[in-house]
């Protein structure tokens, strides 16, 4: 295409700024640039929605490219094709002249081809004595070469988005299957937990999947389903650990009982109490000498030890999963007002805000300490934020927290469903965490 050359359409067709911009773009082709016309055409087909062309218009473009003499488009080999309407109609699967003109206009408007009209509107080429084309009038494919990189990038993005959509759909399908079977297993095996509520939440998530879902909708639903699946797995794993511990304790007890099956208190020798010693009774009811001068303090009770070492218990509430801080703040935005400076940037800020809210709600320090011991400080602060968010729905925040603490100690409490319910109730409102 001649540098600085502007061509206007023949007849009544008006000139437009879009045509002028396409002509200017066609002049920016880098020297030596070339592309395979059919590879470029496939890229255009992939990027069709982004380019704003119809499938019928692509049929006309396919027909036009068949008139280009070489497989590679380049300036050295010319950029003008000049078929007659009759020839073009035949190669466009018998398209009628009126339909052909309409789709040629679509290709021009989309900036994929240019018109270079002759003085009389006919399409032809002038040749020199050697038969080489000197000047041609018809359709220029220069915009295809000038926009080749753009078109290839658009096509690559479309392919990547399609692959991501396919992979996300597959992950969502697997996640749906996992949740359904995990909940069914838990109900069949009578595993402690609010499985009916989980099933209702699962059905609600499935009902929200649209028939023609976009990638953003599917990713959001997959995140929520992933949380629900994690909660189900967490409850089931804790139940399995508890059963193993119960089985080990039962086996140890049987071992103790069977180690001396014939021994009775009558057959055991009595210890004689020496001067300076006091007779005490051990756990089996037998008298044992205890040196007063070396008397040891009594062993703490099991309940006391459990309160002091709750984290060491493999099935204690500390095994509750902590959720991301961003999700907690999305579900409970009201807690942000009680953070340092009205913002929460980390878990320490959330726990500080929870102490203030705990006092405001009338929750006793002992109730909050027991919750921290059973759930862990992060989860206890999360529960306080949830109680604040639910506001007037809870008559006694302190009693409610103690009930959740007891359920956590039994392995029957899951924070995930509570958070997801609040996220939906807040309509996905997001505030800056600080």
> Six-digit token pair at 346?
């980390």
Between these two residues, 317 and 128, which has the higher pLDDT value?
A: 128
Most confident of the ranges 122-126, 291-295, 314-318: 122-126
> Six-digit token pair at 347?
């878990």
Angle at 18 (CA atoms; ends 16, 19), nearest 5 degrees: 70
Name which of 71-80, 252-261, 263-272, 363-372 the model is least confident about: 263-272
Name which of 178-187, 214-223, 240-249, 370-379 the model is least confident about: 240-249
**Alpha-carbon span 178 to 176, nearest angstrom:** 5
Q: Which CATH number describes the domain made up of 17-153?
A: 1.10.10
pLDDT at 120: 66
Q: Which of 206, 219, 227 is closest to 169 using CA atoms?
A: 219
H-state helical runs in 97-214:
97-109, 142-146, 148-188, 195-207
pTM of the model: 0.53
Token look-up 């998530």 returns 205
Between these two residues, 345 and 3, which has the higher pLDDT value?
A: 345
pLDDT tens-digit series, residues 32-42? 788 999 999 99
Which residues, 6+ apart, have CB-to-CB distance to 130 below 8 Å? none
pLDDT at 9: 61
| 91: helix, strand or coil | helix
Average pLDDT over residues 91-119: 87
In sequence order, the β-bridge partners of residue 277 are 291
* Contact between 99 and 105 (Cβ < 8 Å): no
pLDDT at 129: 66
Neighbour count for residue 286 (Cβ, 10 Å): 13
> Six-digit token pair at 244?
């193993």
pLDDT band, residue 264 (cuts 50/70/90): very low
* Contact between 373 and 380 (Cβ < 8 Å): no
| 245: helix, strand or coil | helix
Q: Where are the domains of the chain?
A: 17-153, 160-241, 325-425
pLDDT at 111: 86
Average pLDDT over residues 23-33: 70
């Amino acid at each position: 295409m001649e540098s600085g050359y502007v061509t206007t359409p023949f007849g009544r067709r008006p000139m437009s700024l879009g045509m002028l911009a396409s002509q200017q773009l066609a002049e920016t082709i880098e020297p030596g640039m070339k592309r395979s016309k059919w590879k470029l055409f496939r890229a255009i087909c992939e990027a069709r929605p982004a380019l704003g062309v119809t499938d019928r218009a692509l049929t006309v473009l396919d027909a036009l490219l068949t008139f280009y003499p070489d497989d590679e488009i380049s300036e050295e080999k010319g950029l003008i094709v000049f078929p007659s309407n009759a020839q073009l109609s035949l190669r466009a699967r018998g398209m009628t002249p009126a339909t052909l003109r309409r789709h040629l206009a679509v290709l021009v408007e989309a900036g994929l081809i240019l018109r270079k009209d002759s003085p009389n509107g006919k399409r032809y080429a002038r040749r020199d004595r050697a038969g080489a084309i000197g000047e041609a009038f018809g359709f220029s494919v220069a915009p295809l070469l000038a926009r080749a990189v753009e078109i290839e990038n658009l096509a690559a993005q479309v392919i990547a988005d399609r692959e991501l959509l396919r992979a996300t759909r597959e992950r969502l399908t697997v996640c749906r299957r996992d949740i359904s079977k995990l909940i069914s297993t838990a109900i069949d095996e009578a595993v402690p937990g609010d499985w009916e509520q989980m099933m209702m939440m699962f059905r609600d998530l499935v009902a929200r999947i649209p028939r023609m879902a976009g990638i953003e909708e599917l990713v959001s639903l997959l995140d929520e389903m992933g949380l629900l699946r994690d909660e189900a797995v967490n409850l089931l794993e804790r139940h399995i650990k508890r059963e193993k511990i119960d089985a080990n304790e039962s086996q140890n007890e049987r071992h103790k009982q069977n180690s001396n099956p014939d021994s009775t208190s009558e057959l055991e020798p009595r210890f004689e109490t020496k001067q300076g010693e006091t007779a005490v009774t051990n756990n089996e009811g037998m008298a044992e000498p205890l040196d007063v001068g070396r008397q040891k303090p009594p062993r703490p009770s099991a309940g006391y030890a459990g309160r002091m070492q709750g984290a060491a218990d493999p099935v204690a509430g500390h095994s509750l999963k902590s959720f991301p801080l961003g999700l907690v703040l999305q579900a409970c935005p009201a807690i942000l007002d009680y953070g340092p400076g009205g913002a929460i940037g980390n878990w320490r800020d959330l726990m500080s805000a929870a102490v203030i809210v705990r006092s405001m709600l009338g929750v006793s320090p002992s109730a909050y300490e027991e919750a921290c011991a059973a759930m862990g400080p992060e989860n206890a602060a999360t529960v306080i934020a949830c109680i604040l968010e639910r506001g007037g729905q809870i008559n006694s925040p302190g009693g409610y927290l103690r009930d959740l603490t007891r359920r956590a100690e039994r392995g029957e409490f899951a924070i995930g469903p509570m958070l997801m319910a609040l996220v939906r109730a807040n309509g996905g409102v997001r505030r800056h965490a600080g």
